[in-house]
Amino acid sequence: MSIQTDPQAVAISDDSRAKRNVFILVLAQAFLGAQMPMIFTIGGLAGQSLASNLCFATLPISMIVMGSMLAATPVSHIMQTYGRRVGFMLGTLGGAAGAAVGAYGLYIASFPVFLLGSLLTGIYMSAQGFYRFAAADTASDDFRPKAISYVMAGGLLSAVIGPQLVKVTSDALVVPFLGAYLGIIAINLVGSLLFLFIDIPKPAAPSADSPKGRSRWELITTPRIAVAVICATVSYALMNLMMTSTPLAVVGCGFDKGNAADVVTAHVLAMFAPSFFTGHLIARFGVEKIVATGLIILAAAGAVALQGVELENFFVALVLLGLGWNFGFIGATTMLTTAHDVHERGRMQGLNDLIVFGGVTVASLASGGLMNCSGGDAQTGWTAVNLAMAPFLMLAGGALIWLMLRPQETR
């Protein structure tokens, strides 16, 4: 299938516009993105302190992902209609509002109010998910996978900043974790200024004779798109399944919150550090092989976690989890961007993130139940979490093999 080029988004020969946009998006990923490792470190612990039933400890994380899922299509439509800048600033507004409501929920010790704040935070998470697509908007075909990888690499700094801020802020006030949520409000308000400098043209309004593109059903039943969505969903959902339970498992197995923050730091570093060369690997070996490598590494993460609950096991398993997510998710994203036309971009990207974060929502809901309600102790729950990964890895691996065995012209 030939991919049409949007005349407003054509990269000039040296990709200078794309490189400027990538720089801004890297900064946004690093600074604004710090709120996500903060929330994923403390959300389950805060939920555990507020929930009347420990089975719902990770529900705040699930509500964030659910909010992201619900916001994906509207945010994508806003970006397609009004441009990326408007959509990204809307995301920071949602992040600030979610943190403010979450902080209030902590202050009055109300679990439902805290959950509402988590749902609003999902608006930021949804908008952040489009950073990777925005990186490709003004990039040439050669630079596109590298642009996506570089933007994802911005998460390296967020991996350091976020958990360290947790250590400084989580017990800074009388109410546990309240200081962290107040810090997240500031991150969103300051970080929103970055988008004043982004230079991605607003998509041209469609004319009467503009191509309509394929319907959502036609898009999702295209083999290459279907497999890309499956692999992205499985990579992200399994990463979330395991990561959401990690702070609970680390603390439940006798370590402290500082240890949990360090494990999350190592995990997020592993998620984003490979991004400096993932795009080069995709260009050299092909996207399908990189996605397959990611799925294998995710399986290895589960295998290591099942070997024991020493702190070293947590570190190694979570580092492998981050590496597997990087190859699987960036590879699937690159596969998707080459499988639809420009005028189908808003429709397909919104649908993709709706499905991906729908899967992540289910995974985060399952994570708390498996961790806290499948046995008598933290070790039993942690084992259940990791065993649950197997069938989904087989699904994604089977789909990828099916695609690779198809003739090139039918993909």
Q: What is the pLDDT at residue 206?
A: 65
DSSP letter assigned to residue 377:
S
Reported residue count of the chain is: 411
For residue 7, the one-letter residue type is: P
Q: Quick check: 323 and 304 in contact, CB under 8 A?
A: no
Give the total number of structural domains in the chain. 1
Domain of residue 326: give its range.
13-201+213-410
Task: Classify residue 206: in a domain, yes or no.
Answer: no
Q: How confident is the prediction along the chain (411 residues), in pLDDT tens digits per residue?
A: 444 444 444 444 468 889 999 999 999 999 999 999 898 888 888 888 898 887 787 789 889 988 988 998 899 889 988 999 999 999 999 999 999 999 999 999 999 999 999 999 999 999 998 998 898 888 888 888 888 888 888 888 887 888 888 888 888 888 989 999 999 999 999 999 999 999 988 877 666 666 677 888 888 999 999 999 999 999 999 998 998 889 889 988 989 878 888 898 889 889 888 888 888 899 899 999 999 999 999 999 999 999 999 999 999 999 999 999 999 998 998 899 888 877 787 788 888 888 998 898 888 888 878 887 776 788 899 999 999 999 999 999 999 999 999 887 676
Task: Classify residue 8: in a domain, yes or no.
Answer: no
CATH classification of the domain holding 192: 1.20.1250.20
Q: What is the pLDDT at residue 188?
A: 97
> How many beta carbons lie within 10 A of that of residue 85, not counting itself?
17
Task: Classify residue 73: in a domain, yes or no.
Answer: yes
Task: Classify residue 359: in a domain, yes or no.
Answer: yes
Task: Classify residue 207: in a domain, yes or no.
Answer: no
Structure tokens at 369: 């139940």
pLDDT tens readout for residues 343-374? 787 788 888 888 998 898 888 888 878 887 77
Spatial CB neighbours of 55, under 8 Å, sequence gap ≥ 6: 368, 369, 372, 373
Helix (H) or strand (E) holding 326: helix 311-337
pTM, full prediction = 0.75
Residue spans of alpha helices (H) in 198-252: 216-220, 223-252
pLDDT tens readout for residues 46-104? 888 898 887 787 789 889 988 988 998 899 889 988 999 999 999 999 999 999 999 99
Helix axis angle for 311-337 and 144-153, nearest 10°, is 150
Task: Classify residue 242: in a domain, yes or no.
Answer: yes
Task: Classify residue 5: in a domain, yes or no.
Answer: no
Task: Classify residue 1: in a domain, yes or no.
Answer: no
